[in-house]
Amino acid sequence: MVQSTAASWLNAWNTDRLGRTRGLKNMQSLTAGITKAGTGLDGIVWNILGQTYVPKSVCESSFSWHATFPPGTFVPPHIHPTQDEFIYMFEGQLDLVLDGRDFKATSGDLIKLPMGIPHGIFNKSDQPVKCFFWVSPTRRLYDLFWAIHSMKEQIPNDVVELSARYEVTFLPPPPGA
């Protein structure tokens, strides 16, 4: 479920001439508090490439979200030229291609994805994966997730084109992906 109310933890939202929300305009510093289990910021739940993302925290210096990857879903190889990315594994197994090398991550593992390093994330198992992502700094990733979630249909070529406008560069898939 996505609530359409403006987030109370932000100074302002970008809006177009029709008053539609278009993303973060000015972010506040991180505020103290707890985002309770099973909830996200303002009830936001995004569908991104078949996965479920629940944002937990966003400020200028970092952005975090809980992710569920159903079996067979993946994030194609891509690069964040302006962010470091991390994934903490709660449940399941992810197969990763990190800078051209194959890795597997399971419960309790921390995946470190430095800015500028190509990486792809795959759930090749028959079980869902639950994990926690964060990036630093936030840059435009929060806005990209809203934009992808808001697409009428998430057609791969359209997602690739859109992502490039938000500082994420997708690469060709690896062989056998």
User: Is residue 29, in this structure, part of any structural domain at all?
Assistant: no
Are residues 137 and 60 in contact, defined by beta-carbon separation less than 8 angstroms? Answer: yes
pLDDT tens per residue across span 50-96:
999 999 999 999 999 999 999 999 999 999 999 999 999 999 999 99
- Could you tell me the CATH number of the domain that includes residue 164? 2.60.120.10
Residue pointed to by tokens 């197994």:
93
- pLDDT at residue number 22: 45
User: Is residue 4, in this structure, part of any structural domain at all?
Assistant: no
Counts of helices then strands in the chain (DSSP H, E)? 2, 13
User: Is residue 148, in this structure, part of any structural domain at all?
Assistant: yes
User: Is residue 6, in this structure, part of any structural domain at all?
Assistant: no
Q: Tell me how far apart the alpha carbons of residues 120 and 123 are, in angstroms, rounded to a whole number.
A: 10
Domain count within the chain: 1
What separation in angstroms does the CA of 43 have from each of 38, 81, 164? Answer: 10, 29, 27
Q: 77 exposed, middle or buried (CB, 10 Å; 0-12, 13-18, 19+)?
A: buried
35-65 in b/e form (b: 16+ CB < 10 A) is eeeeebbeebebebeebbbbbbbbbeebbbb
User: Is residue 13, in this structure, part of any structural domain at all?
Assistant: no
User: Is residue 161, in this structure, part of any structural domain at all?
Assistant: yes
Q: How confident is the model at residue 175 (pLDDT cuts 50, 70, 90)?
A: low
Identify the domain containing residue 106 by its residue range. 43-170
pTM of the model: 0.82
Question: Residue 15: is its pLDDT beyond 50?
Answer: no
User: Is residue 10, in this structure, part of any structural domain at all?
Assistant: no
User: Is residue 149, in this structure, part of any structural domain at all?
Assistant: yes
Are residues 123 and 94 in contact, defined by beta-carbon separation less than 8 angstroms? Answer: yes
Structure tokens at 173: 């898939």
Residues 35-64, mean pLDDT to the nearest whole number: 93
